[in-house]
A = this chain, B = another copy of it.
Amino acid sequence: MKAFNDLADFSPETIRELLQLANYLEKNPQPTALSGKVLALLFLSPSLRTLASFQAAMTRLGGGAFVISPEMSIHGIETRPGIVMDGVAAEHIHEAVPVIASYADAIGIRAFGQRKNLADDLADREFHAMTELTDTPYINMESACNHPCQSLADWKTLDELHAGATNKKLVLSWSYHPKSLPLAVPAATIHMAAMRGMNVTVLRPDGFALPEPLMAKARAAANLSGGSVTETNDRKDAMQDASIIYVKSWAATNNYGDAREDLELRAELHDWRINEDWFTSASSDCRFMHCLPVRRDVEVCENVLDGPRSIVIPQARNRMLAQMAVLHEMLGRR
């Protein structure tokens, strides 16, 4: 495996094999599988779960990781192409990426994207400008429009919940958040759920519809898997018979990158805070998922987040297990 960038690059069968490997590694520790192997972790955006789970994953497999972030270099790392470097930054990503990658057997990169130009972000241009600088196998640790490690872990979480029943209803719901957040998780989630054969409903207020290319990609996956993808702004309609509500806030897409309009739109949307009332028409065992971090009593009420519906902690733990499978596949001996 030369890259783990997008679940869409793999067949559903390959994904299922990766998850079998994850389950196998969970039950059968392999503490020398990656002896002497090195994973570079480059964080151009902040992280908690990804930072911790990748280091833990490498240790469990007998290898090791090192972490680089801009503040560790001299006055930060410049990312803009073609710039005369007479300002603060003393190092350019053009050297930093290939150098770091040259010390490692694989490199994980996190870069959220600029959220200015929709076409740039949909194509993950900033992210791929970096991956093109090296031949070292790479892992997308969240780019502007993808988060395959989260999606692989979420697939595993859904398998643990519903086993063979892949055609359950999953609602991806926007939630209120004081800040304008990236599209990576919603984009990756609807595609993953569609690819897994689920019936996906995107629930979001007006002005926050997911860009059509993301919806089209998810619909294409659903066509192959027997799932479906719809969208609505009607909460009751969306939640009818839902088995999963996957909550995530994201930026306004009406005029993507227009910070003022985004702020005006979301100022009216404080009631997009998930509480128990949302579940009235849902399946009685409807579960609450969230990729974390989550703002308590802003995105979701405490009684849901801390209640029996919430599976956010095992969901987060699956990050490590899913990544162990990816690392084993990418770096293990044949």
A contact set with B: CB distance below 8 Å: 29-32, 35-38, 40, 46-49, 51-53, 55-56, 58-66, 68, 72-75, 78, 82-86, 90-92, 94-96, 98-100, 102-104, 178, 292-298, 302, 306, 312-314, 316-317, 320
Contacts and interface: CB of A to CB of B under 8 A. Distances in A.
Contact of A63 (B59, B75, B306): B59
Contacts of A58: 64
Which 4 residue pairs across A and B have the least CB separation, nearest first?
Answer: A31-B36, A59-B64, A91-B293, A85-B295
Contacts of A56: 38, 40, 64, 66, 103-104
Number of copies: 3
Contacts of A29: 36
B36 A83 contact: no
Contacts of A66: 51-52, 55-56, 59
B95 A68 contact: no
Contact of A52 (B46, B61, B62, B68): B68
A221 B141 CA distance: 49
A292 B65 CA distance: 22
Given A103-B320, A313-B98, A316-B99, A35 B62 contact: yes
A86 to B, nearest CB: 5
A68 B48 contact: yes
A95 B293 contact: yes
Contacts of A52: 40, 66, 68, 99-100, 103
Contacts of A320: 102-103
Given A31-B36, A102-B313, 13 more contacts: A29-B36, A36-B60, A36-B61, A47-B73, A48-B100, A52-B99, A78-B296, A84-B296, A84-B297, A85-B298, A86-B178, A90-B295, A102-B320
7 contacts: A30-B36, A35-B62, A38-B56, A55-B64, A74-B293, A91-B294, A92-B293
Contact of A49 (B37, B49, B99, B316): B99
A73 B46 contact: yes
A100 B313 CA distance: 10
Contacts of A60: 36, 38
A162 B75 CA distance: 35
Residue with the greatest number of chain B CB neighbours at <10 A, chosen from A65, A73, A178, A295: A295
